[in-house]
Structure 1
Amino acid sequence: MNKWLRNNDKVAMVLAVIRIYLGYTWLTAGIGKLTGGFETSGFLQGAIAQAEGAHPAVQPWWAAFLENVALPNHELFTFLVMWGEILVGIALILGLFTNFAALAGIFMNFAFLFSGTTSTNPQMVVLTVFLIVAGANAGKYGLDRWVMPYLKEQPVVQKYLHLPRHA
């Protein structure tokens, strides 16, 4: 199954559709936040409040992070969420640094899930797992097709990633 996901051209086409759908979802969410006066402090306070009771929707360790790190720095987190969603969306739509964008996206999905929201996050997590497992095949029909081979040939990349230089 893993070999099929990572190497099959028809799978790459399906992955491109999934990638573009996820990218569109991230991009529209980020633009909506950017143009709609989004601010994280209310969301963070609501998530912290869900850590109370016998069956909390937010685990105490996550609520502690939100209360002690995210809430005091809510302006930074507002910026990171808005622009993170926009940049992940653009990268996925273009198929540029697809694996990194998918990892950043799934990280945001889990942050929202840990904060007690469901929405489309579980669906996005499942679809993103396919992109991550597929590796380079997820960006085959995108800019990764040209960018990744070019980057692998750069001496600085080879030096830090210990990649062999191709003739």
Structure 2
Amino acid sequence: MSRVIVSVKLIDRSSVTAEVLPLAVQIADHEKAAVYKASMIASKAFSVGTSKKIRVLVESMDDFDADALKSAAEYLMDTLQDPAAIVLGSCPDEGKVSLVAAFTPGVVDLGIQAGKFIGPIAKLCGGGGGGRPNFVQAGGRKPEYLTNALEKARTDLILVLTEKAN
């Protein structure tokens, strides 16, 4: 019978915590900055529909990542209230696009699903995405098309919501 001796080097937990904590603070600060930016752009929302007024907001959020966009979209859904449709986009890194679509229950009840809506928009940016009927994250690899994609999202939302909310 032979013996196997294994040597394991234990990591000092305090050094890991010291490395991770600043990163966690940085992430939290980044998401707070996104929510602050969202509070500044909330006034750009406009209403669509005659019988049922739906608040719409489609905006670029500079270089915020997908998690920060999600935080911003959640804040905007609370701020704009139901019914509201929100699409946010950004270029967080070179060669990368992040998109988020958030639809309140009043929009989903009209038969408009975020997951189905964002697909063609993300495709314009060389990507795709998916998610729930009320919330979706998407991405792409062509940041030069983000502006056009957001314009299409705005136009498409106006058309479909005007039709459904009248």
Larger radius of gyration: 2
Give me the TM-score of the superposition, normalised by structure 2: 0.30
The structure whose residues are more often strand, as a share, is: 2
The structure whose residues are more often helix, as a share, is: 1
